[in-house]
Every structure is written in C-alpha cells, then in structure tokens.
A and B are shown apart, each in its own frame.
Chain A
Amino acid sequence: MIAGLPAVLDEVRGLVWPARRKTRSALPGAHLAVTHANSAEFVEYRPYRQGDDPARIDWKLLGRTDRVYVRLSPERSVQATMLVVDASASMAFPADTLLKWTTAARLALGLAGLARHGGDPAGVVVAGGGGIRTVAPRTRRSVLDEIARALEPSPSGSPALAPLVETAMRHAARVVIVSDFLGDVDAQITAARRHGAAGREIHAVHVVAQEELEPPRGARLVSDPEQPDLRRPMPEAARREYLRRFGEWRAATARAWRGGGARYTMVVAGGEPLRQSIRRIAT
C-alpha cells in the first residue's frame, strides 16, 4: 500500500520543480510571472509612460541618450498544481501487490509535496469506483495529509477522467495526470491540447506495470479487470503480437500527449526509485 507520508517526502527532499512557463498568478511565489515588479533585479528597459514611478527612471541612460526609460525587474508568483490521479480498476494491478496503484499514489504524493515545498498550492482529485475525492490546492501544512488520505482507498471501477482533467486545467496552472491511460485518453489529450495552448503546464505521467510490458510466458487466458467479458488467450505467437501492439500504442500515446503540448513521462511501477521518477517528471 501507500508508503507513509514522511518516507515519500524524504524521497523528494532537495528537489525543485520549476515552472516551465511564466505564471499568471498574483500571489508571490518562486516562479517567474508574466508581469514585472519593482525590485533591484534588472530585467529590461521600457519607455517611460505617464504614471510610472520616477524613481525607476534610469538617469544615466537619459544622460547618454536623451531618452527616458524605466528599469523593469521580474515578478515571481506561485503556480497552483493539481494532480489528477486515475484510481480505476486497471490501476489495481498486479492484484497481489497493487504496484501500479502504489506507484501512482506515491508519485502523486511526492509531486504534491514537491510543489508545496516550492511554495505552490497543491491539490489532488482521485477518480475511482467509489466516487471522486478532491482536495483543493492549498499551501497549508495539512494539505499533504489530506492528499494522502484521499489516496488511501484501493482503485476500482471505470470512471471517466477527461472531465476531471478539464476541471483541473481550469483552476490550476499546472496539472499532472497520473494514469495508465487505458480509459478516455483521447478526451484527456483533447483537453490538454486546448488548455496547453492557453498556457497551462501539463504533465502526463504514464504508469505501466512490468507485467504489462513483459507478460509471463506460457499459454494463459487473460482478462481485462475493467471489462470482465474481454478475455483473450495468449500463446507465444499472441504474446509477440501483444508486445508489438502495446509498444506501438505507448509510442502513439506519447506522441499524442507531446503533440498536445504536454510533457509525457512513462514510469514503470517498481522499476526505479521514487526520487528518480519525480526528478524525470519535474525537471
């Protein structure tokens, strides 16, 4: 199950998660904003306009050029981060370890902790068969506990993720989707494409189980946990075809996310330490 919050936070200690684009938030934070502020740090000159503070006029430049310019310095603000976590039945795999789910939950918790440590509000929406659990983005200390509690229940059901992604993108500047993308991924990509063009920072974290990448050999009958009627035998020839098809789909999914303006990262459940995965996502 999910490792304790302190252990996860220890994993992400010392990491930073800079914004990839200038933020639009009015709250001061660590990320460069699209607006400018008055500070000693020089960024650029702008011609003087009526109403500018005369203290910002660069007098030396005036003496050299006879033109009046004001000095501009960068604005820094926060970037609200929302994590959309897929808690459908396909995430409960393998059934004995639930490694996909625990990896996804630890990733979400770690990214939330990383965002909060950077002063950014962090929240989560968990979509599972038991309903939608939402924690609004906040910076207060208890938000990580709330996020951890939201990630406690085991995954089940087949909820649609795209509406939640759409909602998260409207209210947060940075959206991280943690999923295996075996659901309504096309609708998610469409939403990402639309909001990415509007300046949102979107991360698609694709969680894949090792058993999905390399299914055990031997004639087996496999079934989809979200569609019990979907049962297929997998002899060796079918297994080779499955590997080809699954690989092509993963590549196509990655291309689609990137084409939609998102940053795509594939994480193999249990394949690498949490810190390494988060570093790949955040940097």
Chain B
Amino acid sequence: MSFLAPGFFLAALAVASGAIALHFLVIRQPPSAALPTTRFVPVARVHIVTVARRPEDLLLLLLRVLLVLLVGAAFARPVLAPRAGSVARVILADTSDAVADSGAVRDSVQRLAQSGDVVIDFGRLSTALVAGIRAGTRLRAAADSVEIVVVSPLASGTWDGSIAEIRRLWPGRIRLVEVAELEGAERPAGFLVAGPAEDPVALAALAAGIGTGDSSVRVLREAAGAGDTSWAESGGALVHWPASGAPEGWLPQVPADTAGAVVAAGTAVVFPFERRWRAGPAEGSVVARWVDGSPAAIERRVGRGCVRDVAVPVTARGDFILRPDFARLLETLTARCGMAASSSTALPDKVMLAGAGPLASRASLPVPEAVETPLVPWLLGAALLLALLELRLRRSSRERQEPAS
C-alpha cells in the first residue's frame, strides 16, 4: 500500500505516539497509609499523576492508537499496491473498414482481455493511441506494468504522421496483433469524378496515378443533387468539392481573403489559395484546415456513408495540380469515410509502433490527476466504529476508577 499524501499518516503516527506516552501517565489514588485520627481529615477527592511502568487500559490505548492511525491513513489516501509482476492491458481494437474480418478482431480481443483490462475500439489509430495512453495511465494503480495491445491490420489507411509523436508519449513497448486486411484497403479507394471535362481535380488524380473508377468514393465537382445524397446515405463517401460555388451549408467568406496554405492529415500544401467560403454551423469532423486553423474541409456522416465538403479552390493554371503535395492532399480528401485524416503516404512503421524494451512500468507512468481511493470510506467507517467503542470503554474505565470514599 502507498499513500498519495503520506504526510497525514506521519502526523497520525506522531499523534498515536503521543497517545501511547500519555497512557503511561496514570491518574490514580495516592498510596494509602494508616492514620488513627483519620476522622479529622475532611472529606475530599484527590488524585495524583504518576508514571506507570506499564500503561493501563491497554485495550483503550489500542483503540485510540488504531483510531488515530485509521483517520491519518484515510486522509493520506492509501492506494493498494498492485501485485508484483501483474500486467494490465489496454487493447486497441481496429473497427475500421480496413479490417477484413471483424470477427477475427473480436476473437483476438476476447483471447487477450482479462479482468480489469480496457478495450478501446478505433477507426483511427492515432486517436486510439491517445485514448489508450490515457487509459493506460489510469491503470497505473491496478498493475505493476501496463501493456498496450493493438489488434489491427495496421493498414496504411489507419496510419497518419501524428502516430510517431503520440508513440513517444508511451514509455513501454506495444504488442501488435495483426489481423487480415481488407484487400485494397492499403490504397485509398479510387474515386469517380463527376464534373466538367478536364476538371483540374481529375487531371491531378490522373497525373498522380491515383486510381479512379471505384464506386465507393465519388468526387462531385458540381452542385449536389438528391441522388448524390442518397448514394452517400447508402454507404458511399461523397466528396462535394464544387469547382465553383460553395459546398452545401458553407457561407461566403466576407471579405474573401487569401490563405497561404492548407493542411490535412499531416500534409501541408503551400499556395496562395483564394478563400471564398467559410464553414457554416453544421457539425462534422474537420478533415483539412487552412493555415490559420479555420476549416477547409469537413466530413459529416449521413446514413451509412458520409459527405465531405471541401472548400479548397483548385486552379488548372501552372503546375499546381502536378505537385506531389497536392497529390497527397487529393489522396487525403478523397479517402473513404472516416479515413480522410490518414495519409496514405505515411507507411505503417510497425517497428516504431511496437517499440522495444520492457512494458511500461508503474514508475514510468505519470500519476493521474484524479486517483481513485476506494479504501478511504472504509477507513473512515472503521474509525467511526472505533470512536464509538472508545467512548463506551472510556466511560466504563472511568467508573471503575471512581475512588471509594
């Protein structure tokens, strides 16, 4: 057991020591002596304080010492130390579309999980790692070591550039349990561009060698219709990227300004973009941001699919559409639902993710801000009972010591 505030327990020890010392000072009647003329002594009560060799009322002393120590321990907020060698797990289970067999993930989780372990489902590994590290820190009090287990195909679609930074926050190694990946999940799905001929977006995809023709992602370069929304609701990813005009729900940027760059999933494209639209009040997850942090593309769930509104203007002038950074941006903005933050160019670094060395020990993990101390109510309850018992015992002890007159 350890204490979060050991000073209180030390104070309780000092008080208990004082109580023990005081129990050696006994108040008793003075020694008796014969005096034939006792009848002339006035009636009175007297006690003297002497130092006893052994403390009297040992039971009362024990109660008082226990009471003080229990109160001190309660204020010191004890935390039970985990069993030496015990391991708690945080299991990150991939539930994204990159998983070929979700049942395999479930089976792996069931095989790995034990009582007290935490299971976190994720679609995005970086956010799962953050949640896992947070959960692992909370498990610090429950085990001697904490292990993070990732059950995932570790597809590139779930990977992004922030994972390396997040990985550095975890001091121990991570176990990787790979499951089968859905075919084609490594590469972003091809997309169909609906729009005018020689649309710069389509030309850019062609130039970058990004696959087209896949039916799960549709890039709409013109106004959306009811059919488009229905298609998205049936499970597709509709990327509404008007060549002109605002995406649905977006408002005019007044006055129109220039944004020097746009960032998405770790990819930054520096270009003097003319920013004509700003995001409306509709909710969604931000997929891309202008350099000043304002949203440049927002994905919102519709039915079983999603609609991704993109307000990044694409010009066919110059070689902008031929730039590799734009190709990466294009890849990100045309990813399947929920995978837009991934960067397909960030190849999964399994060695980096797994790490080396021992599991994260308790000592290496930071102390969480809020620590549960389930023992405190029990300690205070026991102290209350002892206090009542001490009161009763003290009364009976006092009655026994009443001098006979």
Binding site for B on A (CB under 8 A): 89-91, 93-95, 100, 180, 182, 209, 211-212, 215, 218-227, 230-235, 237-239, 241-242, 245-246, 249
Q: Which residue of B lies closest to A234 (CB)?
A: B41
B interface, CB within 8 angstroms of A: 29-46, 48, 403-405
| Least distance between A223 CB and chain B CB atoms (Å) | 6
- The minimal Cβ–Cβ distance linking A99 to chain B, given in whole angstroms, is 12
Among A220, A225, A241, point to the contact of B42 (Cβ < 8 A): A241
Known A-B contacts A232-B405, A233-B30; the reply to A224 vs B46 at CB < 8 A is: no
- Say whether B37 contacts A219, CB under 8 Å: no
Docked-complex contact B405 and A220, CB < 8 angstroms: no
- With A220-B33, A222-B32 in contact, is A230–B48 under 8 Å at CB? no
A residues near B37, Cβ cutoff 8 Å: 182, 212, 242, 246
Q: How far is the CB of A197 from chain B (nearest CB, A)?
A: 31
Jot down 17 A-B pairs with beta carbons below 8 A, ordered by A: A89-B36, A93-B34, A215-B35, A219-B46, A219-B48, A220-B30, A222-B34, A224-B35, A224-B39, A225-B36, A226-B36, A231-B404, A232-B44, A233-B45, A233-B46, A242-B37, A242-B40
B142 to chain A, nearest CB (A): 61
Nearest Cβ on chain B to A92's Cβ, whole angstroms? 9
Which of B33, B40, B45, B46 makes the CB contact (< 8 A) with A246? B40
Q: How far is the CA of A237 from the CA of B42 in the complex (A)?
A: 9
Residue among B32, B34, B35 with the highest chain A CB neighbour number at 10 A:
B35
| A248, closest chain B residue (CB) | B40
Residues on B with C-beta less than 8 A from A209 are 36
Residue pair B33, A223 in contact (C-beta under 8 Å): yes
Interface centre among B37, B39, B45, B405 (most CB of A within 10 A): B37
Please measure, in the bound complex, the distance between the C-alpha atom of A210 and the C-alpha atom of B35, giving whole angstroms.
Answer: 11
Q: Is the CB of B32 within 8 A of A231?
A: yes
Neighbour of A93 across the interface among B36, B42, B403, CB < 8 A: B36
* Apart from A223-B34, A233-B29: 8 A-B pairs, beta carbons within 8 A: A93-B36, A221-B33, A231-B38, A231-B405, A232-B42, A232-B43, A232-B405, A241-B41
* Contact B31–A221 (Cβ < 8 Å): yes
Query: Within the complex, what minimum Cβ distance (angstroms) separates A132 from chain B?
Result: 21
